[in-house]
Amino acid sequence: MTATSAPGQGAEYAATASEAYRAALRVIESVEPRIADATRKELADQRDSLKLIASENYASPAVLLTMGTWFSDKYAEGTVGHRFYAACQNVDTVEALAAEHARELFGAQYAYAQPHSGIDANLVAYWAILATRVEAPGLAELGAKHVNDLSEADWESLRAKMGNQRLLGMSLDTGGHLTHGFRPNISGKMFHQRQYGTDPTTGFLDYDAVAAAGREFKPLVLVAGYSAYPRRVNFAKMREIADEVGAVLMVDMAHFAGLVAGKVFTGDEDPVPHAQVVTTTTHKSLRGPRGGLVLATEEFAPAVDKGCPMVLGGPLSHVMAAKAVALAEARQPEFRTYAQAVADNARALADGFIKRDAGLVTGGTDNHLVLLDVTSFGLTGRQAESALLDAGIVTNRNAIPADPNGAWYTSGIRFGSPALTTRGFGADEFDRVADLVVEVLENTQPAAGPNGPSKAKYTIADGVAARVHAAAAELLEANPLYPGLTL
């Protein structure tokens, strides 16, 4: 199953999708031709690039087309059967189907399909945990000032009135996310926060250290999950730690939801049976539209159901419809084959780097992403990212543990296998990708800026970018994006 077709569909599906897109673009062109041109160019650019960003993928035409309907015109605050606007019966059908598919796909007691993004899903989850477990008379104070106008003293007062609640999450530089308690983020202001990291020698998650931090800090919320940690997590152990210290285990599986849905992660590595609250995006490895979900046990369901108006604005009914379509696709047997290929291909990419003596954080991967330490090439992540882009390889720079270059320039590059796996790449192609990446980095040198050494400027040896771009084009031509789709 590729992004171009739903299970059991092929050339006829692609021809129908082509007709739909050509008609849609003609309608758009009649109003604002520059948008139609940009849309065509975006498809061309995506077709011509090796997309290795771990948080990106390609949704099917069915998912994409679902978002372009009159469901976009509806306001539907509230929940299924209990809306604050009239004439929402069809939105009720859409939201109920999205939640049903999510519950069945992940084996969850409850699913909430309204969050607009993964960050929104995390905010809904945090407020639901607070509302369920904490008496919070200070919450009303948020309405007294705009959130951006609250001083640190205001936040301190609010946290105290909320019972001085605490959150323990994975640090940003060891693979966590901004919303896992990073102080500048709203999650780091809502809670007294502390971060856990990884073993400084191996880069692996140290469960004993997490447990020790939990016993000392006694958080209300223990957040597990990651955005740049290339290994699996034992969620049964994380639940044991949470239970021992009286915390709620919340798992953010936005990056690896597709591996959970595809049954690559099972047992102790499947967060849903172990966490009270699970959040995710619906794009990334799940291959749906940009949006979020919250899964929860029955204890937290009533509070999560109040995500709108507690945190969210009106639900995006057209996106919920697309979520339902994507989740229906993910329930097909072909998706399990895809998910296993995602993990296998990430391992092939990692092995390709290792045999070419490129340093990897943790020495490899067993999920969908690979984190390359580019300091051995004498580069910053910013320089490496830019040089690779010049050669037609789309990646993103990422911090590594104890990163000497900080979160902006970084010392790492994060690679992901979901998108190219959707295009049909296999182990041999990913090994070739590793070869092309190393060729670019070995032939890139830092360059001086106007005031001395620069962490951003670089030079590539003559001819390398063009040569790699041409080699990448051969791989892409053999594995076309949306084959049969013509505009």
The tens place of each residue's pLDDT in the chain, 487 residues long, gives: 455 445 556 888 989 999 999 999 999 999 999 999 999 999 999 999 999 999 999 999 999 999 999 999 999 999 999 998 999 999 999 999 999 999 999 999 999 999 999 999 999 999 899 888 775 444 445 444 544 566 777 767 766 665 548 899 998 888 888 787 777 787 777 788 899 999 999 999 999 999 999 999 999 999 999 999 999 999 999 999 999 999 999 999 999 999 999 999 999 999 999 999 999 999 999 999 999 999 999 999 999 999 988 888 889 999 999 999 999 999 999 999 999 999 999 999 999 999 999 999 999 999 999 999 999 999 999 999 999 999 999 999 999 999 999 989 999 999 999 999 999 999 999 999 999 999 999 999 999 888 888 999 999 999 999 999 999 999 999 999 999 999 9
Give 462-471 contacts, CB < 8 A, sequence gap 24+: 464/391, 464/439, 464/440, 465/387, 465/390, 465/391, 465/440, 467/439, 468/391, 468/392, 468/393, 468/436, 468/439, 468/440, 469/391, 469/392, 471/432, 471/436
Residues 388 and 436 in one domain: yes
Residues known to be catalytic: 75, 77, 252, 281, 284, 290
The pLDDT of residue 276 is 98
Residues 427 and 360 in one domain: yes
Residues 348 and 209 in one domain: no
Structure tokens at 388: 């690779």
Q: Which of 288, 305, 330 is the last residue of a domain?
A: 330
Please indicate, yes or no, if residue 8 is contained in any of the structural domains.
no
> Using CA atoms, how far apart are residues 481 and 408, in angstroms rounded to an integer?
31
The pLDDT of residue 155 is 65
Please indicate, yes or no, if residue 148 is contained in any of the structural domains.
no
Residues 219 and 361 in one domain: no
> Using CA atoms, how far apart are residues 298 and 107, in angstroms rounded to an integer?
13
Residues 340 and 310 in one domain: no
Residues 287 and 340 in one domain: no
C-alpha closest to that of 222 among 239, 199, 203: 239
For residue 309, say if its preceding peptide bond is cis, omega within 30 degrees of 0: yes
- Domain limits for position 424: 333-478
Q: Which helix (H) or strand (E) holds 199?
A: none
C-alpha closest to that of 463 among 433, 432, 440: 440
CATH number of the domain to which 200 belongs? 3.40.640.10
Residues 338 and 322 in one domain: no
Structure tokens at 53: 């960003």
Contacts of 100 (CB under 8 A, 6+ apart): 111
Q: What is the pLDDT of residues 43-83, one digit of tens each?
A: 999 999 999 999 999 999 999 999 999 999 999 999 999 99
Residues 75 and 195 in one domain: yes
Residues 95 and 238 in one domain: yes
* Rounded alpha-carbon distances, angstroms, from residue 350 to 294, 357, 363, 483: 31, 11, 8, 28
Structure tokens at 28: 């758009």
For residues 335 and 262, the answer to whether their CB atoms sit within 8 Å is yes
Please indicate, yes or no, if residue 146 is contained in any of the structural domains.
no
Please indicate, yes or no, if residue 464 is contained in any of the structural domains.
yes
CATH number of the domain to which 457 belongs? 3.90.1150.10
Please indicate, yes or no, if residue 208 is contained in any of the structural domains.
yes
Please indicate, yes or no, if residue 365 is contained in any of the structural domains.
yes
The pLDDT of residue 178 is 78
Residues 178 and 321 in one domain: yes
Q: What is the pLDDT of residues 432-455, one digit of tens each?
A: 999 999 999 999 999 988 888 899
> Using CA atoms, how far apart are residues 294 and 298, in angstroms rounded to an integer?
12
For residues 191 and 167, the answer to whether their CB atoms sit within 8 Å is yes
Encoded amino acid at 33, one letter: P
- How many Cα atoms are found within 13 Å in the side-chain-facing hemisphere of 64? 17
Sign of CA dihedral 70, 114, 66, 255: positive
Encoded amino acid at 347, one letter: R
pTM for this model (two decimals)? 0.91
Q: DSSP secondary-structure letter at 198?
A: B
Q: Which of 330, 354, 382 is the last residue of a domain?
A: 330
Q: How many domains does the chain have?
A: 2
Residues 470 and 393 in one domain: yes
Q: Which helix (H) or strand (E) holds 189?
A: helix 186-190
> Using CA atoms, how far apart are residues 337 and 347, in angstroms rounded to an integer?
16
Residues 324 and 416 in one domain: no
The pLDDT of residue 1 is 44
Please indicate, yes or no, if residue 177 is contained in any of the structural domains.
yes
> Using CA atoms, how far apart are residues 233 and 224, in angstroms rounded to an integer?
8
Sign of CA dihedral 92, 95, 98, 104: negative
Q: Which of 307, 330, 353 is the last residue of a domain?
A: 330
Please indicate, yes or no, if residue 170 is contained in any of the structural domains.
yes
